[in-house]
Structure 1
Amino acid sequence: MRAHISTLLIAGALAALPSIVLAAENRCGWVQNPTPGNYWLDDRDGIWIIATQGSETEALGMENMGDISAGDFVKTNGYYGYACGCMKVETERNTDPQDTSAGRITAIYSFKQLAIAKCSADKSLPTPE
Protein backbone atom coordinates (compact mmCIF):
# COMPACT_ATOMS: atom_id res chain seq x y z
CA MET A 1 0.00 0.00 0.00
CA ARG A 2 2.81 2.37 0.91
CA ALA A 3 4.47 1.71 -2.45
CA HIS A 4 1.27 2.71 -4.28
CA ILE A 5 1.00 5.97 -2.34
CA SER A 6 4.66 6.79 -3.00
CA THR A 7 4.23 6.00 -6.67
CA LEU A 8 1.16 8.24 -6.90
CA LEU A 9 2.95 11.11 -5.15
CA ILE A 10 5.96 10.83 -7.46
CA ALA A 11 3.72 10.60 -10.54
CA GLY A 12 1.81 13.69 -9.42
CA ALA A 13 5.00 15.65 -8.84
CA LEU A 14 6.37 14.64 -12.25
CA ALA A 15 3.10 15.61 -13.94
CA ALA A 16 3.33 19.10 -12.43
CA LEU A 17 6.99 19.52 -13.37
CA PRO A 18 6.51 20.49 -17.05
CA SER A 19 4.27 23.42 -16.09
CA ILE A 20 6.96 24.69 -13.74
CA VAL A 21 10.03 24.01 -15.87
CA LEU A 22 8.45 24.90 -19.23
CA ALA A 23 6.83 28.17 -18.17
CA ALA A 24 8.04 30.06 -21.27
CA GLU A 25 5.45 30.50 -24.01
CA ASN A 26 5.44 31.91 -27.53
CA ARG A 27 3.33 35.02 -28.06
CA CYS A 28 2.91 36.80 -31.39
CA GLY A 29 1.26 40.09 -32.23
CA TRP A 30 1.70 43.85 -32.30
CA VAL A 31 4.64 45.15 -30.26
CA GLN A 32 3.62 48.66 -29.29
CA ASN A 33 6.02 51.43 -28.24
CA PRO A 34 3.89 54.59 -28.50
CA THR A 35 5.96 56.81 -26.18
CA PRO A 36 9.30 56.59 -24.33
CA GLY A 37 9.48 53.70 -21.86
CA ASN A 38 6.06 52.24 -22.72
CA TYR A 39 5.96 48.81 -24.35
CA TRP A 40 3.24 46.20 -24.61
CA LEU A 41 2.23 43.28 -26.81
CA ASP A 42 -1.27 43.01 -28.30
CA ASP A 43 -1.97 39.38 -29.14
CA ARG A 44 -5.06 37.19 -29.56
CA ASP A 45 -5.43 36.97 -25.76
CA GLY A 46 -5.26 40.71 -25.06
CA ILE A 47 -2.73 43.31 -23.95
CA TRP A 48 0.46 42.14 -22.23
CA ILE A 49 2.37 44.94 -20.47
CA ILE A 50 6.14 44.78 -21.00
CA ALA A 51 7.26 48.11 -19.49
CA THR A 52 5.63 51.30 -18.28
CA GLN A 53 7.36 54.68 -18.12
CA GLY A 54 8.24 55.62 -14.55
CA SER A 55 7.70 52.11 -13.20
CA GLU A 56 10.52 50.05 -11.75
CA THR A 57 8.80 46.91 -13.05
CA GLU A 58 9.81 45.89 -16.55
CA ALA A 59 10.31 42.53 -18.20
CA LEU A 60 13.67 40.89 -17.66
CA GLY A 61 15.51 40.52 -20.96
CA MET A 62 14.20 43.72 -22.59
CA GLU A 63 17.53 43.83 -24.45
CA ASN A 64 16.45 40.69 -26.33
CA MET A 65 13.89 42.78 -28.23
CA GLY A 66 16.49 45.08 -29.72
CA ASP A 67 15.48 48.21 -31.63
CA ILE A 68 12.11 47.44 -33.20
CA SER A 69 12.28 50.64 -35.28
CA ALA A 70 15.23 49.16 -37.22
CA GLY A 71 12.95 46.53 -38.83
CA ASP A 72 9.52 46.71 -40.45
CA PHE A 73 8.01 49.44 -38.25
CA VAL A 74 5.13 51.94 -38.38
CA LYS A 75 5.84 55.37 -36.86
CA THR A 76 2.86 56.85 -35.04
CA ASN A 77 4.47 59.46 -32.79
CA GLY A 78 7.85 60.83 -33.86
CA TYR A 79 10.30 57.93 -33.40
CA TYR A 80 7.70 55.75 -31.68
CA GLY A 81 5.17 53.30 -33.08
CA TYR A 82 4.59 49.59 -33.51
CA ALA A 83 5.96 46.45 -35.13
CA CYS A 84 4.89 42.85 -35.60
CA GLY A 85 6.76 40.08 -33.82
CA CYS A 86 6.89 36.84 -31.91
CA MET A 87 8.59 36.44 -28.56
CA LYS A 88 9.34 33.61 -26.19
CA VAL A 89 8.27 34.96 -22.81
CA GLU A 90 7.13 34.25 -19.31
CA THR A 91 3.87 35.89 -18.31
CA GLU A 92 1.90 36.68 -15.21
CA ARG A 93 -1.85 36.69 -15.81
CA ASN A 94 -3.89 39.59 -14.51
CA THR A 95 -6.28 38.78 -11.67
CA ASP A 96 -7.44 42.36 -11.02
CA PRO A 97 -10.96 42.87 -12.46
CA GLN A 98 -10.32 46.65 -12.56
CA ASP A 99 -7.35 46.18 -14.94
CA THR A 100 -8.23 45.50 -18.59
CA SER A 101 -4.84 44.03 -19.56
CA ALA A 102 -4.40 40.26 -19.97
CA GLY A 103 -1.36 40.51 -17.73
CA ARG A 104 2.32 41.28 -17.67
CA ILE A 105 5.28 39.85 -19.55
CA THR A 106 7.83 39.18 -16.82
CA ALA A 107 10.72 37.85 -18.95
CA ILE A 108 11.68 37.95 -22.64
CA TYR A 109 13.94 35.12 -23.80
CA SER A 110 13.91 35.79 -27.53
CA PHE A 111 12.25 38.03 -30.08
CA LYS A 112 11.77 37.76 -33.82
CA GLN A 113 10.45 40.75 -35.69
CA LEU A 114 8.08 39.91 -38.55
CA ALA A 115 6.71 41.83 -41.50
CA ILE A 116 3.84 44.20 -40.66
CA ALA A 117 1.80 42.32 -43.28
CA LYS A 118 1.98 39.14 -41.17
CA CYS A 119 0.14 40.73 -38.22
CA SER A 120 -2.17 42.73 -40.51
CA ALA A 121 -3.36 39.47 -42.08
CA ASP A 122 -4.01 37.81 -38.70
CA LYS A 123 -7.75 38.25 -38.00
CA SER A 124 -7.29 37.22 -34.34
CA LEU A 125 -5.26 40.38 -33.64
CA PRO A 126 -6.74 43.78 -32.79
CA THR A 127 -5.99 46.77 -34.99
CA PRO A 128 -2.80 48.47 -33.73
CA GLU A 129 -3.04 51.92 -32.19
Structure 2
Amino acid sequence: MRHAVIATILGCLWAGGAAAAPERRCGWLANPSPANWWLRDRDGEWVLSVQGVGREPVPGLDSLPDMTTLGWVETNGPHGYGCACLILDTAPGGRVVRILSGEPLPMQRCRADRTLPPPPG
Protein backbone atom coordinates (compact mmCIF):
# COMPACT_ATOMS: atom_id res chain seq x y z
CA MET A 1 0.00 0.00 0.00
CA ARG A 2 2.78 2.42 0.92
CA HIS A 3 4.52 1.85 -2.43
CA ALA A 4 1.27 2.53 -4.30
CA VAL A 5 0.86 5.89 -2.55
CA ILE A 6 4.46 6.89 -3.29
CA ALA A 7 4.09 5.82 -6.93
CA THR A 8 0.90 7.87 -7.26
CA ILE A 9 2.54 10.97 -5.76
CA LEU A 10 5.60 10.63 -7.98
CA GLY A 11 3.40 10.10 -11.03
CA CYS A 12 1.45 13.28 -10.30
CA LEU A 13 4.64 15.27 -9.80
CA TRP A 14 6.13 13.97 -13.05
CA ALA A 15 2.95 14.69 -15.05
CA GLY A 16 2.67 18.19 -13.59
CA GLY A 17 6.14 19.15 -14.74
CA ALA A 18 5.84 17.87 -18.29
CA ALA A 19 5.37 20.21 -21.23
CA ALA A 20 2.00 20.12 -22.93
CA ALA A 21 1.48 19.53 -26.64
CA PRO A 22 2.59 22.41 -28.87
CA GLU A 23 0.09 25.27 -29.00
CA ARG A 24 -0.51 27.90 -31.67
CA ARG A 25 -0.79 31.27 -29.95
CA CYS A 26 -1.61 34.45 -31.89
CA GLY A 27 -1.58 38.03 -30.71
CA TRP A 28 0.62 41.03 -30.04
CA LEU A 29 4.33 40.22 -30.12
CA ALA A 30 6.08 42.89 -28.07
CA ASN A 31 9.77 43.81 -27.93
CA PRO A 32 9.71 47.17 -26.12
CA SER A 33 13.43 47.21 -25.31
CA PRO A 34 16.53 45.03 -25.78
CA ALA A 35 16.08 41.41 -24.63
CA ASN A 36 12.46 41.93 -23.51
CA TRP A 37 9.96 39.85 -25.50
CA TRP A 38 6.45 38.57 -24.82
CA LEU A 39 3.31 37.54 -26.65
CA ARG A 40 -0.09 38.79 -25.48
CA ASP A 41 -3.01 36.73 -26.69
CA ARG A 42 -6.61 36.21 -25.59
CA ASP A 43 -5.46 34.11 -22.62
CA GLY A 44 -2.79 36.42 -21.23
CA GLU A 45 0.90 37.14 -21.49
CA TRP A 46 3.54 34.60 -22.56
CA VAL A 47 7.01 35.70 -21.45
CA LEU A 48 9.75 34.86 -23.94
CA SER A 49 12.70 36.88 -22.61
CA VAL A 50 13.34 39.34 -19.78
CA GLN A 51 16.46 41.48 -19.64
CA GLY A 52 18.62 41.24 -16.54
CA VAL A 53 16.83 38.52 -14.57
CA GLY A 54 19.67 36.01 -14.82
CA ARG A 55 17.97 33.57 -17.16
CA GLU A 56 18.38 32.85 -20.83
CA PRO A 57 15.64 33.65 -23.35
CA VAL A 58 13.25 30.82 -24.17
CA PRO A 59 14.93 28.40 -26.60
CA GLY A 60 13.86 29.16 -30.17
CA LEU A 61 13.53 32.93 -29.76
CA ASP A 62 16.70 33.56 -31.76
CA SER A 63 15.48 31.43 -34.68
CA LEU A 64 12.22 33.31 -35.28
CA PRO A 65 11.85 34.87 -38.73
CA ASP A 66 11.91 38.65 -39.17
CA MET A 67 8.71 39.72 -37.42
CA THR A 68 8.75 43.22 -38.94
CA THR A 69 7.87 42.14 -42.49
CA LEU A 70 4.08 42.58 -42.21
CA GLY A 71 4.00 45.68 -40.08
CA TRP A 72 5.81 46.75 -36.96
CA VAL A 73 5.12 49.73 -34.73
CA GLU A 74 8.37 51.23 -33.48
CA THR A 75 8.02 52.67 -29.99
CA ASN A 76 11.66 52.80 -28.90
CA GLY A 77 14.11 52.92 -31.81
CA PRO A 78 13.76 49.57 -33.62
CA HIS A 79 11.88 48.11 -30.64
CA GLY A 80 8.11 47.94 -30.61
CA TYR A 81 5.35 45.48 -31.42
CA GLY A 82 3.65 43.58 -34.19
CA CYS A 83 1.08 40.89 -34.80
CA ALA A 84 2.24 37.26 -34.91
CA CYS A 85 1.47 33.61 -34.33
CA LEU A 86 3.92 31.42 -32.46
CA ILE A 87 3.94 27.66 -31.96
CA LEU A 88 4.95 27.15 -28.32
CA ASP A 89 5.68 24.31 -25.97
CA THR A 90 4.30 25.38 -22.60
CA ALA A 91 4.37 24.09 -19.05
CA PRO A 92 1.75 24.34 -16.31
CA GLY A 93 1.33 27.85 -15.00
CA GLY A 94 1.61 29.47 -18.42
CA ARG A 95 5.39 29.16 -18.70
CA VAL A 96 6.87 28.96 -22.19
CA VAL A 97 9.38 26.11 -22.48
CA ARG A 98 10.34 26.48 -26.15
CA ILE A 99 9.37 28.35 -29.31
CA LEU A 100 9.02 25.92 -32.19
CA SER A 101 8.18 28.43 -34.92
CA GLY A 102 6.56 31.75 -35.62
CA GLU A 103 5.13 33.89 -38.37
CA PRO A 104 4.38 37.59 -38.62
CA LEU A 105 0.79 38.56 -39.41
CA PRO A 106 -0.67 41.73 -40.89
CA MET A 107 -1.38 44.29 -38.15
CA GLN A 108 -5.04 44.51 -39.14
CA ARG A 109 -5.54 40.88 -38.10
CA CYS A 110 -4.71 41.63 -34.45
CA ARG A 111 -6.51 44.98 -34.53
CA ALA A 112 -9.69 43.24 -35.74
CA ASP A 113 -9.53 40.45 -33.12
CA ARG A 114 -11.87 41.50 -30.32
CA THR A 115 -10.55 38.76 -28.02
CA LEU A 116 -7.12 40.44 -27.83
CA PRO A 117 -6.16 43.16 -25.37
CA PRO A 118 -5.28 46.57 -26.81
CA PRO A 119 -1.90 46.75 -28.54
CA PRO A 120 1.12 47.45 -26.32
CA GLY A 121 2.75 50.81 -26.29
Distance 2:41 2:105 in 1: 14
Deviation at 1:21, TM superposition (A): 8.7
Residue 113 (structure 2) pairs with residue 115 (structure 1): no
- Mapping for residues 20-39 of structure 1, pairs under 5 Å: 23-39=21-37
1:66 is aligned to: 65
What value does the CA root-mean-square deviation take over the aligned residues? 1.8
- Give the letter for the 2:79 counterpart: Y
Contact residue 88 and residue 99 of structure 2 kept, 8 A: yes
Deviation at 1:109, TM superposition (A): 0.8
2:56 is aligned to: 57
1:78 is aligned to: 77
- List alignment gaps of at least 5 residues for structure 1: 1-19, 95-102
Q: Which moved more, 1:84-93 or 1:112-121?
A: 84-93
Q: Which runs of 4+ in 1 moved over 4 A?
A: none
When residues 22 and 54 of structure 1 are mapped into structure 2, their CA distance, relative to the original with a 3 A threshold, is closer
Deviation at 1:85, TM superposition (A): 0.7
Aligned positions, number: 102
Residue 43 (structure 2) pairs with residue 45 (structure 1): yes
- Give the letter for the 1:121 counterpart: A
TM-score by length of 1: 0.71
- List alignment gaps of at least 5 residues for structure 2: 1-17
Contact residue 58 and residue 106 of structure 1 kept, 8 A: no
Deviation at 1:71, TM superposition (A): 3.8
User: How many percent identity over aligned positions?
Assistant: 40
